Homo-oligomer: A and B are copies of this chain.
Amino acid sequence: MSYRPPVRDYAFLLRDVLELERYANLPAFADASMDTVDQIIEEAARFTGEVLAPLNSVGDTEGCRWSPDFTVATPTGFKDAYDQLVAGGWPALGADPAYGGQGLPYVVSLAFSEMSSAANMAFSMYPGLTHGAYSAILAGGDQAQKDLYLPKLASFQWGGTMNLTEPHCGTDLGLLRTKAVPQGDGSYKISGQKIWISGGEQDLTENIVHLVLARIEGAPAGTRGISLFIVPKFIPDADGNPGQRNAVKCLGLEEKMGIHGNATCVISHEEATGWLIGEENRGLTIMFVMMNEARLGVGMQGIAQAEAAYQAAATFARERLQGRSLTGPKNPDGPADPIIVHPDVRRMLMDSRAIIEGGRAFLFWTALHGDLAQASPDEAVRQKGHDYMALMTPVLKGFLTDRGFSVCSDAMQVHGGAGYTEHLPVSQYLRDVRIALIYEGTNGVQALDLVGRKLAADGGRGVTTFFAEFDAFVADNQADEALKPFTEGLARGKAELQEATLWLMQNGIANPDNAGAASTDYMHLFGLVALAYMWGLMAKAAQAKIAAGATDAIYQEKLSVGRYYMARVLPETAGRLAKLKAGADTLMALPAEAF
């Protein structure tokens, strides 16, 4: 019943759909031949499946324990697993070779991240946040900071955190009060209270590097006066080893619905010593480097939990005997048929696969564009990569976590009463995944980022390019009978998405509330059509393999699940379009006091 990493699906995506080998001439891809990638994925599957997955329910049951000496103990086994993670060199997969990394493409390390998250979301958040801190220092730190911190973070020898939220400010960072006082020696004294700091204290690493948003004395109010600081738990000594204990401590842990194995800390900075990263008052810019990477990672978490939950549901549905098929017994010698014969059970499993496999393709396809944005020698390819990363990030985060939560809920439903108990893993998946709709910017914030910023960026260049890509796919493949459901569905979906986009342009400027009111429906419409495109790409790749004589069952399965997506998932677009075109009037009609 435990999680089995979907290695076959990764190979299909990387080899057949994204054709990674096309990029062998690029620096990051040079060491990523498909044989190497296969090997890495096999080994990652073993580590995540055998080491991390068995600790998932331990983490849920035990949770983390805070002590009055301000230390936090992670669940039994986490420290040992973490040591294995570091020893195995996993952290360094995607990191810069200049700082001890292997420099593999993002799209490859993403497979490892998904497996880790599916096996044990709470555990995988510790290295996840550390990688975020690594990226922020890489993006904004000076050379001395990079030399001091990056190797320790790239190896996960030290942990990293993001210190953003304060009790009175989450989404609206402009309100933040934590203050920084310059000491004249290049350092600052940081004072303030931060909440919901994942991994803010733990017993896994010898040091913790907090990246802290604070306001330098005298800085402007609002978001233009926020700077980013490095506040290490232990101040590195002259040799770069953990030295003096800094005045930053964990005052307690949050009790949460899920991710119990991850320590969610209240962190108090009490004139803690910190160092500015980048320029004064430009902290949010660097933080958004970290945040954007984190957002794609959260979308991945939605799919990862969905995959784990789907697997549990599929196994249960194949094994649980209950009732008979509507079309005659399928297990006539048994007392009843397995419940997978029932169309409504099948519906939940097929919905799950259509979203998981389509969503995974969307994640990997976008991550590849992220790689190309860095590595391609072609300016146009790099620009498209940047545009797509910016445009897709809010959709990946918001759409895939909303859908991931639904998949986990459906997985519980397939289990019936057993799913509601804590003896089976599905309740944990549902409780754990729920945070993904909230953190790193709620899904509503993602939707607003999409309609308010990303769509219009650079005169709508990203979305225009994306639409043109749909058109090209339809034009290139509409003569292919086998791909007809895909080209027809995509053409219809694209027309609806385009209509919605036009409506937004016309009505969102006249009344910004129209854009806000439309945002979530638009994000789902966008996600649904993007997945239709992904299913088109996958169907085309599968069809080509079949035409070339491949007999592996996965190719027919991809065509089947893809046709299901087009027939029975995509039609949701019609309602989304109608709702968003209804505008903000009925939505904003009531006065606030009426609620």
Contacts and interface: CB of A to CB of B under 8 A. Distances in A.
Interface of A: 165, 168-172, 174-175, 196, 254-258, 314, 317-318, 321-323, 326-327, 330, 335-336, 338, 340-350, 353, 405, 409, 412-413, 416-417, 419-423, 427, 430-431, 434-435, 437-439, 442-444, 447-448, 511-513, 515-517, 519-520, 553, 557, 560-561, 563-564, 566-569, 571-576, 578-579, 582, 584-590, 592-595
Contact of A336 (B172, B412, B439): B172
A227 to B, nearest CB: 20
A217 to B, nearest CB: 19
6 contacts: A171-B322, A171-B323, A314-B595, A340-B595, A420-B435, A564-B589
Among A344, A413, A416, A437, residue most surrounded by chain B Cβ atoms (within 10 Å): A344
Number of copies: 2
A434 to B, nearest CB: 7
B345 A427 contact: no
Contacts of A174: 336
Contact of A574 (B318, B340, B435, B574): B574
B516 A340 contact: no
Contact of A586 (B413, B430, B511, B568): B568
A420 B444 contact: no
Contacts of A564: 586-587, 589
Contacts of A588: 343, 346
A307 B314 CA distance: 34
A60 to B, nearest CB: 11
Given A434-B420, A517-B344, A579 B568 contact: yes
B575 A571 contact: yes
List of 6 A-B pairs having minimum Cβ-Cβ separation, nearest first: A343-B516, A326-B512, A571-B578, A567-B582, A314-B595, A344-B444
A567 B575 CA distance: 11
A468 to B, nearest CB: 27
A567 B586 contact: yes
Contacts of A571: 574-575, 578-579, 582
Nearest to A349: B595
A592 B338 contact: yes
Contacts of A175: 321-322, 335-336
Could you tell me the dominant secondary structure of chain A's interface residues?
helix
Contacts of A568: 579, 582, 586-587
Among A174, A347, A564, residue most surrounded by chain B Cβ atoms (within 10 Å): A347
A431 B447 CA distance: 26
A395 to B, nearest CB: 15
A322 B169 contact: yes
A422 B171 contact: no
B557 A590 contact: yes
A405 B255 CA distance: 22
Contacts of A574: 571, 574-575, 578
B413 A442 contact: yes
A115 B438 CA distance: 30
B560 A589 contact: yes
A568 B171 CA distance: 26
A584 B584 CA distance: 37
Nearest to A517: B343
Contact of A592 (B340, B439, B443): B340
A168 B255 CA distance: 35
A586 to B, nearest CB: 4
A437 B431 CA distance: 16
Contact of A343 (B254, B346, B513, B594): B513
B256 A170 contact: no
Given A172-B323, A517-B344, A568-B579, A595 B257 contact: no
Contact of A165 (B171, B417, B575, B578): B417
Contacts of A347: 517, 520, 587
A171 to B, nearest CB: 5
Contact of A438 (B419, B444, B448, B511): B419
Contacts of A256: 420-422, 427
A355 to B, nearest CB: 14
Among A420, A571, A588, residue most surrounded by chain B Cβ atoms (within 10 Å): A420
Given A343-B588, A417-B165, A423 B255 contact: yes
A352 B517 CA distance: 15
Contacts of A582: 567-568, 571
Contacts of A345: 444
